Amino acid sequence: QVQLQESGPGLVKPSETLSLTCAVSGYSISSGYYWGWIRQPPGKGLEWIGSIYHSGSTYYNPSLKSRVTISVDTSKNQFSLKLSSVTAADTAVYYCARQDGHYDSSGYYVEYFQHWGQGTLVTVSS
Amino acid sequence: SSELTQDPAVSVALGQTVRITCQGDSLRSYYASWYQQKPGQAPVLVIYGKNNRPSGIPDRFSGSSSGNTASLTITGAQAEDEADYYCNSRDSSGNHRVVFGGGTKLTVL
């Protein structure tokens, strides 16, 4: 059973860097899949931040790309998020999730997040 | 702004059928996936691909797609189905970007 758990400070000051870690159990990151970060501001919808493959290849949301770094530590079976120069607009619940994707028999690609962490609220405030 | 468009709110009478839609150009090339989110909880995947349900998801949930529109149908809605529903897919720009719809609040009357 795949389980993910986010951890990190719940309060970050404006202009500083938000750092979160997602510990994975029940599956070895080295075995494959992309691993992603998604956030949800209070009362709003979901926003994909970015994803990383076990090899270290990364893809980021263009709207956040200049401030985001996602890394993976296969020895600890975890991956991490850093978001720099945060403002109040970065206040959100941050989720980590395993990103599954494949082509089906009709040739269409499907991508989905089946396994999610419980989420952690990060507040940006002085 | 979201490149997948969903109606902000939909309501359904208990036991009736409801369809929640998701529109976007990316859906001409990629399947949508659907998530249910209840207050204070992480999203739960309910449908992925053409019409696949993860283990444990009731068969009253089904998915379909036509052109640039994907649909999530709940046949015989239950009180516990009241939640926010989000669609997502790969973006069609070719850069592995993932997009989510803005979400639909489902009320079961």
Q: What is the pLDDT of residues B36-91, one digit of tens each?
A: 999 999 999 999 998 999 999 999 999 999 999 999 999 999 999 999 999 999 98
Q: Does residue B61 sit at the A interface (CB-CB below 8 Å)?
A: no
Contact across the interface for B88 and A113, Cβ inside 8 Å: yes
Angle at B56 between CA B54 and CA B60, to 5 degrees: 85
Distance from CA of B17 to the nearest CA of A (A): 24
Top pLDDT among A109 and B106 is at B106
pLDDT confidence of residue A68: 98
Q: Does residue B38 sit at the A interface (CB-CB below 8 Å)?
A: no
Residues A94-115: what's their mean pLDDT? Answer: 91
Please state which of the ranges A34-48, A62-76, A97-111, B6-20 shows the lowest mean pLDDT.
Answer: A97-111
Q: Does residue B58 sit at the A interface (CB-CB below 8 Å)?
A: no
Query: Contact, A39 vs A61, CB < 8 A?
Result: no
Nearest to B30 among A59, A108, A116 (CB): A108
Q: Does residue B86 sit at the A interface (CB-CB below 8 Å)?
A: yes
pLDDT confidence of residue B2: 53
Q: Is the pLDDT of residue A3 over 50?
A: yes
Q: Distances in Å between the alpha carbon of A26 and those of A29, A70, A114, B35, B81?
A: 10, 21, 14, 22, 29
- Which tokens in the block code for residue B45? 């995947």
Q: What is the pLDDT of residues A9-32, one digit of tens each?
A: 999 999 999 999 999 999 999 998
Domains of chain B, first to last: 5-108 (2.60.40.10)
pLDDT confidence of residue A73: 95
pLDDT confidence of residue B1: 46
Question: Rounded to an integer, what distance in angstroms lies between the CA atom of residue B107 and that of residue B102?
Answer: 16
Given the structure tokens 């202009």, which residue do they identify? Answer: A15
Question: What are the φ and ψ backbone dihedral angles of B99, each rounded to 5 degrees?
Answer: -125, 145
